[in-house]
A and B are shown apart, each in its own frame.
Chain A
Amino acid sequence: MLWREEDTSVEAVLAALRRHAFVRSGDDAHPRPRARALTLIVVCDDEERADAEAVARVAHRHPLRAVVVVRRPDGDPRLDAVMRRPDEVELRVHGPAADHLASLVAPLLLPELPAVFWWMGPPPVQAPAYGELVALCDRGVVDMGDRLLPLPHPERVEDVAWRRSRPWRDIVASLFDPPEHRGAASAVREVRVAHVPAWRLTALLLGGWLAARLRLPPAAVRLEPAAANAVVLGAYAVRATSDGHHAEVRRPGEPTQRARLPQLATAEVVAALLATPPDPLWPEALAAALAVAGAQRS
């Protein structure tokens, strides 16, 4: 641990960040400042703290400043801070300030560099605390969990499950890669996404993506509970195997093939979210997924 202080102030946190900005590296062990490319703000509550710290830890491999904010809206107003590594600070925000995070965080942002927030758990999309953060930051990452939410500004705010499902999109798209199957994609009239209970949100997002890409009405996408996750497009199908690490790929007139279905590690998801531009497909996929969810209910 480099520094800790209870009942501290933002100024003291900033001073500590400056004091401990140097890292030792290389042959001569000469301390040097890290180059930095962005500020990451990870927002969590007490229960999500371990996960938030894991994100900050892998994010530390990128040139950035990480600020972990633990919200404790109940209790007397107080700010505690801990610094474990250079350019990584954890704030515990007690009292009403927990609902006005932007004012606390703004002074800690690196000048002129992009700011990214990561809201652990379902974001309170209606709450001012969340809206302020969206307004303050250039990009955001949320974890909707199992409930699809109408996220404001999807062009800047993305869900973790969407990035995690990238290998699925890759394999489903590969169904139509062989030249002799290219034309079949535009003939698809119906999409079935089978899913285990924990995979419902991802199933909806994949359904939304397919509806948007294949220009299908929301009602053409059907979700159904199943023992194994699968995407079925007429005679074409991708089905997860029981070990969860492979998928069976089926095209009409061909023997079933096996493809690897990698489980992205947290580090890879963080890297993808921090080091690559926003996913251009996400806004339309989210909008279509919301429509698909509506169609399932009716």
Chain B
Amino acid sequence: VAELPANPLRAGLITPRRPEPQALVLFGASGDLTQRKIAPALYNLAVDRLLPDSFAVVGVARRELPDERFRAALYEGVVRHSRRQPPTAAIWAALAEDMHYVAGDFRDPATYRRLDEVLLRLPAARNRLYYLATPPEFFDDIVRGLGGLTPTPGFARIVVEKPFGRDLASARRLNQVLHQAFPEGEVYRIDHYLGKETVQNLLVFRFANSIFEPVWNRHYVDHVQITAAESIGTEGRAAYYETAGALRDMLQNHLLQLLCLTAMEPPVDFSADAVRDEKVKVLRAIPPLGPEDVVRGQYEAGWIGGEAVAGYRQERGVAPDSQTETMVAARLRIENWRWQGVPFYLRAGKRFPKRVTEIAVQFRPAPHLPWRGATDELRPNTVVVRVQPDEGITLTFGAKVPGQELRIRSVEMDFLYGASFGHDAPEAYERLLLDAMSGDPTLFTRHDEVECAWRVVEPALAATGPVAPYPAGTWGPAAADELLRRDGRRWRRP
């Protein structure tokens, strides 16, 4: 095959990243995720002119809806959830022009015949991005249905939402199902934490600077704490949450991803597989969680922000004797040269005192302090990456308190995204949708990554002991504190 001549006018041209023409085929188009995240993301991508020149959206869901109502429902999502307000009508109108809707049961072959007809009429649908925003029990049928569509010469990619399986066995089965119709390179498993700017910045912080990486290891780091706290309860998602719990909902995916980015070795380049290879290496170095390394808790009634809130078991859709954990704390080890002996403490929970996600790397104390008595207020050096809210990075270090006497206390050196870069960062879903449209899987989890993560948490899933109660508005049960106390450490108060 002769090499195509290069386009001389493309050389050196600064062009924004814009994907090829394509159709986004959205399963579960009438669902919550479509309204809250996908519709606003599409609108904001349109505002930033990052959508392809020719772009169509085809929604698929069970409910009968005319195209008009489907468009109106998405628009309502934009009005309620877009970071840019109010929406510009003209931009939405141009986007909505090519939005279509197919009603049908995901199990019914006729649904896919109707979908096929619609797609074959759309010029943009030469390339396709299938998006499964449905509960996982439908994945099987949808993938089989998609396998029966008329093949197109363009690409066919599939985006899968969490939860990706309930355990190692079901995750493996899901991977097999997907691989029947889509090669791994076309499968995009979303972990929306990876789309967050601060999470991507973690790798920049580590690997674009020369002063942090030399101390980012067992010789200088005492331990690492990763916290993902929510102040809300289950917010109407109790039915799903009852079957999941914090271990499956947060720890297996989001927290382990944050751990991977904190602990991984520098990748040789920023290509998808180079980055994901390094993450998999971290996961493989973590011994599966033993029962003594995990604390499961469940909130009882309490107070948050001056308001009385009900306990988990009193919420609608929750069994009165539910043993589902609403918080989990875990102690992990990474058995490799860099991290041997450095514990990673992870915790995630609902009805904690405030919403905060952060990674705190705590360094060892100075080997010798020549100021006797002057250092009571000195805490260890800590680098804190705040994932949300108040996105930024803080370094704490000791400083002399001004005055005649010598006193030393810890002060913060703060970098705050919001105050430094005044413009809005794109939402995680904008970034991830654009990446999937452009065919860049770097920020998506690979099949072996998901399976390795399940392998780590698998033994903890089998835990049958009762959950430890904690009052809403606290940082979890005493057992979670005990997890660190026996190592001579304590949880930070984020």
- Residues of A that sit less than 8 Å from B by CB: 23, 25-28, 32-36, 60-63, 166, 169-170, 172-173, 175-177, 179, 182-183, 185-186, 210, 213-214, 259-260, 262, 271-272, 276, 279-281
Q: Please report the C-alpha to C-alpha distance between residue A32 and residue B6 in the assembled complex, in whole angstroms.
A: 50
Residue numbers in A under 8 Å from B414 (CB-CB): 32-33
Instruction: Report B-chain residues with C-beta under 8 Å of the C-beta of A175.
Output: 9
Query: How many whole Å from B493's CB to the nearest CB in chain A?
Result: 13
- Please provide the chain B residues from 1 to 46 with a CB less than 8 Å away from any CB of chain A in the complex: 4-15
A32→B10 contact, CB < 8 A: no
Instruction: Decide if B12 touches A280 in the complex (CB within 8 Å).
Output: yes
Q: How far is the CA of A183 from the CA of B49 in the complex (A)?
A: 29
- Distance from A261 Cβ to chain B, minimum over Cβ atoms (Å): 11
Contact partner of A170 (CB less than 8 A), chosen from B4, B11, B13, B422, is B13
Provided the pairs A170-B15, A279-B14 are in contact, do residues A25 and B9 lie with their beta carbons within 8 angstroms?
Answer: no
Measured CA separation A63–B416 after assembly (Å):
11
A63 to B7, CA, bound (A): 36
B488 at the interface (CB under 8 A from A): no
A185 to B10, CA, bound (A): 11
Residues of B within 8 A of A210 (CB): 9
The distance in angstroms between the C-alpha atoms of A8 and B418, with both chains bound, is: 32
Pair B8/A185 contact, Cβ less than 8 Å: yes
The answer to whether A281 and B12 touch (CB under 8 A), given A26-B418, A32-B419, is: yes
Jot down 27 A-B pairs with beta carbons below 8 A, ordered by A.
A25-B416, A25-B418, A25-B419, A26-B419, A32-B416, A33-B419, A35-B415, A35-B416, A36-B420, A62-B421, A63-B420, A63-B421, A166-B14, A170-B15, A176-B7, A177-B7, A179-B4, A182-B6, A182-B7, A185-B5, A185-B7, A185-B9, A210-B9, A262-B49, A271-B423, A276-B14, A279-B14
B residues whose Cβ falls under 8 Å from a Cβ of A: 4-15, 49, 53, 389-390, 414-416, 418-423
**How far apart sit A27 and B418, CA to CA, in the bound complex (Å)?**
11
**Interface pairs A-B: 5 shortest CB-CB:** A61-B422, A35-B420, A173-B9, A26-B390, A25-B419
B14 touches A182 (CB 8 A): no
A114 to B420 alpha-carbon distance, docked (Å): 16
Specify the chain B residue showing the minimal Cβ separation from A279: B14
Kindly list chain A residues whose C-beta atoms are within 8 Å of the C-beta of B11.
Answer: 213
Q: Are A169 and B13 in contact (CB under 8 A)?
A: yes
Bound state CA distance, A63 and B417, in angstroms? 9
Chain B residues within an 8 Å CB radius of A170? 13, 15
Query: Which residues of chain B are within 8 angstroms of A60 by Cβ–Cβ distance?
Result: 422
Q: Tell me how far the C-beta of B15 lies from the nearest C-beta in chain A, rounded to whole angstroms.
A: 6
Known A173-B9, A185-B9; judge A27-B421 contact (CB<8 A): no
> With A25-B418, A185-B7 as given contacts, are A260 and B14 in contact (CB-CB < 8 Å)?
no
With A62-B421, A63-B421, A279-B14 known as contacts, the answer to whether A214 contacts B53 (CB < 8 A) is no
Residues of A within 8 A of B390 (CB): 25-28
> Which residues of A have CB within 8 Å of B14?
166, 272, 276, 279
The answer to whether A259 and B419 touch across the interface, beta carbons within 8 angstroms, is: no
How far is B6's CA from A210's CA once the two chains are assembled, in angstroms? 15
Pairwise interchain contact A34-B420, C-beta atoms closer than 8 A = yes
Among A36, A173, A262, A279, max chain B CB count under 10 A is at A173
A151 to B301, alpha carbons, bound, how many Å? Answer: 71
B-chain residues with CB within 8 Å of residue A183 when the two chains form the complex:
5
Cβ–Cβ < 8 Å partners of B415 in chain A: 35
Q: How far is the CA of A61 from the CA of B8 in the complex (A)?
A: 35
